[in-house]
Amino acid sequence: MSAIIGEKAPNFGVSEWVQGAPTNFEQEKDHIVLLEVFQVNCPGCFMNAIPEAISIYNKYKDDGVRVLGLATAFEDFDKNTLDNLKMLAETGEVVGETKSALATYGKLQEGNKLSFKIPFPLGMDNLTKSAGEISQEQIMQFIYPQIPDFDSQPEEYRNQIIERVKGHMKSKEYSAETFEKFSLQGTPSTILVDRKGILRDVSFGQTGHIESLIQQMINED
């Protein structure tokens, strides 16, 4: 079931909760729920989106607003892992591009650790591994329709294209349930559900309208 704004929100996918009690949209009736979807290897998530979610959590937790964090993965599957999410939750340590960017801006404590603690529940999206290894035949089936004269191209060019296609196909190595169910465009993304369980908003990036929307929903009957 795909999510449609204005209709009942389907439950998001979660394979494991690493912080806080297990929950989902159907268990949060009578609460406004902000689900912050991020990747562990996503500098923008930690520079802006997660601090904004923490601010919303602190301001509105006594007004019936629940903030939840869900790590997903649609790329960099070697870094956007359950183990790295657990390390983040337990120690505050970050990895990859997140570590590089936060270090550049002087936003890390000693030991590559965040300067803030994420106070709300954190879970991992439900990832399903695509079947099998990527074969040479699959790669060529992808290339030939787009480059019919591929075989007559210089060897160096052919090798570059094969590696690029292999990388693209490997990037689809897993499918992430929540990412696909809510048709997310990337991370950070926010999913907002009202007290009646109706999906009210799905946004990608820093839009700046989430807090005002939550204030509006708090004042609804």
In a domain, 8, yes or no: no
Residues 160 and 79 in one domain: no
Intervals of the chain under pLDDT 70: 1, 130-132, 170-172, 207, 221
Q: Are 72 and 84 in contact (CB under 8 A)?
A: no
Q: Is residue 51 part of a domain?
A: yes
Compute the half-sphere exposure of residue 17: CA atoms within 13 Å on the CB side of its CA: 10
pLDDT for res 135? 79
Q: How many domains does the chain have?
A: 2
Residue 24 and residue 89 share a domain: yes
In a shared domain, residues 57 and 90: yes
Q: Quick one: pLDDT at residue 25?
A: 95
Do 189 and 81 share a structural domain?
A: yes
Verify that 190 and 88 share a domain, yes or no.
yes
Q: Is the dihedral of CA 46, 48, 49, 52 positive or negative?
A: positive
The answer to whether 16 touches 123, Cβ cutoff 8 Å, is: yes
Cis upstream peptide for 188 (omega within 30°): yes
| pLDDT on residue 65 | 97
- Residue 10 placed within a domain: no
Per-residue pLDDT, 21: 95
At residue 221, the pLDDT reads 64
State the pLDDT at residue 1. 60
Task: Identify whether residues 51 and 143 lie together within a single domain.
Answer: no
**Do both 193 and 148 map to the same domain?**
no
pLDDT score, position 193? 97
Range of the domain at 52: 16-128+176-218
For the domain that residue 54 is a member of, what is the CATH number? 3.40.30.10
In a domain, 6, yes or no: no
Q: What pLDDT is stored for residue 146 in this prediction?
A: 80
Is 162 among the domain residues? yes
Asked if 92 and 166 sit in the same domain, the reply is no
Q: What is the pTM of this model?
A: 0.81
- The whole-number pLDDT of residue 171 equals 63
With respect to residue 2, please indicate whether it lies within any of the assigned structural domains: no
